[in-house]
Amino acid sequence: MRLLVGLGNPGGQYARNRHNVGFMAVDAIAAAHGFAPWRSRFQGQAAEGRLGPDRALLLKPGTFMNLSGDSVRAAMGFYKLEPADVIVFHDELDLAPGKVRVKTGGGTAGHNGLRSLGAHLGPEFVRVRIGIGHPGDKRLVSPYVLGDFDRSEEEWLDPLIAALAEAAPMIAAGDAAGFMNLVARRTAPPPSTPTPSAPRAEEPAAPPEDTRSALQRLADRFR
| pLDDT computed for residue 193 by the predictor | 47
Residue scoring higher pLDDT (71 or 223):
71
| One-letter identity of residue 100 | V
CATH architecture of structural domain 2-187: 3-Layer(aba) Sandwich (3.40)
Q: Is 145's pLDDT higher than 90?
A: yes
| pLDDT computed for residue 203 by the predictor | 53
Q: Is 219's pLDDT higher than 80?
A: no
- Give the DSSP H/E element, type plus range, for residue 130: strand 126-131
pTM: 0.84
From 19, 33, 90, 111, the catalytic residue: 19
CA distances from 210 to 195, 207, 216 (A): 43, 9, 11
Q: Is 169's pLDDT higher than 80?
A: yes
Specify the 3-state DSSP secondary structure of 6: strand
126-131 and 86-92: which strand pairing? parallel
Specify the 3-state DSSP secondary structure of 46: strand
Q: Is 134 a catalytic residue?
A: no
Q: Is 206's pLDDT higher than 80?
A: no
Domain parsing of the chain, residue ranges = 2-187
Closest alpha carbon to 3 in 69, 87, 103: 87
Q: Is 220's pLDDT higher than 70?
A: no
| pLDDT computed for residue 214 by the predictor | 56
